[in-house]
A and B are shown apart, each in its own frame.
Chain A
Amino acid sequence: MKHYDVIVAGFGTAGTIAAIAAAREGASVLVLERGHYAGGVHTGGGVASYYIQRPIGFMKELDDLIHGKKEHALDSLYVPGELNKQELERIALETGVELRYGAAVYDVLREGDRITGVRFVQEGTQEEASAHTVIDATADAILCQRAGVPMESGRETDRTSMPFTNIMLKCYNDISDLAAMNFDAGRIDQYREPEYSKTQMQTHLVHQHEDWSQFRDVIVPGDLVGVREGLRIIPKGKPFTLDDVLDGSGDAEEPIGFVWSNLDTHANDMPLEDELIQDWMIGASMWGIQLWFPVPRNAIHPRGVRGLLAAGRHLGVGHNLNYAQRMNPLMGMLGAAAGYSAAIAARKGVDADAVPYADFVEKLGLPEDPLAYNRKLWSIPEDEIRAKLDSDEPGIAMWTARRKVPAATLKSWYDEAEPGSRLRRHTAMALALKGDASGCGELRAMVRERDEYAPKHSRKYNHSRGYVALYFLGKLADPGCVELAADLLKKNAPASHPYEYASNAIAAVIKAGDRHAEMRQACAELLRSVLEDPAWRLRSRLKGTVDTMKRMDALFRCAGALALRRWGIPNRIGEALIASGPDPFEEDLAHKLGCI
Chain B
Amino acid sequence: MNKNTSSFPDRVETVVLGATWYGCGLAFAAGRNTLVLERSIVPGREFSLALEPGSLWDAPLASPEAASLREEAVRRNALVQGVMQNAALTPILAQWCLQNELPIRFTCDVLNVSPHAVEFQAVDGLHRVECSRVLSAEPSPRNGKKYLSILIREPNGTTLEPGAERPGFRLFSQCVPDRLLWQLELDAATPWEKARAIMLERWAQRPEALKKWSILFSASEFSFRNDDNPFSALDRGIQEGGR
Interface residues of A (CB under 8 A from B): 34-37, 44, 82, 85-86, 89-90, 93, 99, 101-102, 104, 106-107, 121, 124, 126, 140, 145, 168-169, 171, 176-178, 190-194, 196-197, 200-202, 204-213, 215-221, 223-225
Contact = CB atoms under 8 A, between A and B. Distances in A.
Interface stretch (B56-64, B163-171, B211-219): B211-219
26 contacts: A35-B220, A106-B111, A106-B121, A121-B111, A124-B113, A140-B123, A171-B179, A176-B155, A178-B216, A192-B7, A197-B105, A201-B43, A204-B43, A204-B95, A205-B98, A212-B85, A216-B85, A218-B87, A218-B88, A219-B151, A219-B217, A220-B51, A221-B87, A221-B90, A223-B45, A223-B49
Contact of A176 (B45, B175, B214): B214
Contact of B91 (A35, A36, A102, A204): A204
Nearest to B105: A197
Contacts of B121: 104, 106, 121
Contacts of A178: 151, 216-217
Interface stretch (B25-33, B192-200, B225-233, B234-242): B192-200
B123 A210 contact: no
A583 to B, nearest CB: 12
A205 B124 contact: no
Contacts of A86: 196, 200, 218
Contacts of A104: 39, 109, 121
**Chain B: interface residue count, which band?**
35 or more
Lowest 5 CB-CB distances: which A-B pairs, in order?
A: A204-B94, A208-B91, A104-B109, A193-B7, A213-B77
A221 B90 CA distance: 7
Contact of A204 (B90, B107, B124, B155): B90
Contact of B153 (A169, A171, A218): A171
B93 to A, nearest CB: 8
A140 B122 CA distance: 12
Interface in B95-110: 95, 97-98, 103-107, 109-110
A362 to B, nearest CB: 31
A177 B217 contact: yes
B218 A101 contact: no
A201 B193 CA distance: 30
A275 B42 CA distance: 38
Given A201-B97, A212-B85, A126 B43 contact: no
A204 B97 CA distance: 11
Contact of A211 (B7, B77, B86, B94): B77
A35 B192 CA distance: 10
A193 B7 CA distance: 6
Given A82-B217, A218-B87, A196 B107 contact: yes
Given A36-B221, A101-B193, A193 B215 contact: no
A464 B1 CA distance: 55
B92 interface: yes
Given A212-B78, A218-B87, A34 B218 contact: no
Contacts of A223: 40-42, 45, 49, 220-221
B88 A196 contact: no
A400 to B, nearest CB: 44
A211 B192 contact: no
A194 B192 contact: no
A126 B122 CA distance: 16
A210 B76 contact: yes
A130 B193 CA distance: 23
Contacts of B91: 204-209
User: Which of B121, B125, B219, B221 is packed against the most chain A CB atoms within 10 Å?
Assistant: B121
Contacts of A221: 42, 48-49, 87, 90
Nearest to B84: A212
B186 to A, nearest CB: 13
A89 B41 contact: no
Given A176-B155, A219-B217, A34 B109 contact: yes
B176 interface: yes
A220 B49 contact: yes
Contacts of A201: 43, 94, 97-98, 104, 106
B111 A200 contact: no
B94 A82 contact: no
Contacts of B43: 201, 204
A211 B76 CA distance: 5
Contacts of B111: 106, 121, 126
B63 to A, nearest CB: 21
B235 to A, nearest CB: 21
B80 to A, nearest CB: 8
Contacts of A192: 7, 123-124
B110 A124 contact: yes
A218 B98 CA distance: 23
A90 B91 CA distance: 34
A193 B124 CA distance: 6
A209 B107 CA distance: 26
Contacts of A209: 76, 88, 91
Nearest to A176: B214
B126 interface: yes
Given A89-B196, A209-B76, A220-B86, A193 B220 contact: no
B205 interface: no
B191 interface: yes
B88 A82 contact: no
Given A106-B109, A197-B105, A221-B49, A205 B200 contact: no
B143 interface: no
A207 B85 contact: no
Given A171-B153, A208-B91, A85 B218 contact: yes
Contacts of A169: 217
A514 to B, nearest CB: 33
Nearest to B90: A221
A370 B188 CA distance: 51
B191 A121 contact: no
A223 B87 CA distance: 12
A455 B7 CA distance: 49
B107 A207 contact: no
Contacts of A197: 104-107
B98 A202 contact: yes
Contact of B8 (A193, A207, A208): A193
A89 B193 contact: yes
Nearest to A82: B217
A258 B101 CA distance: 47
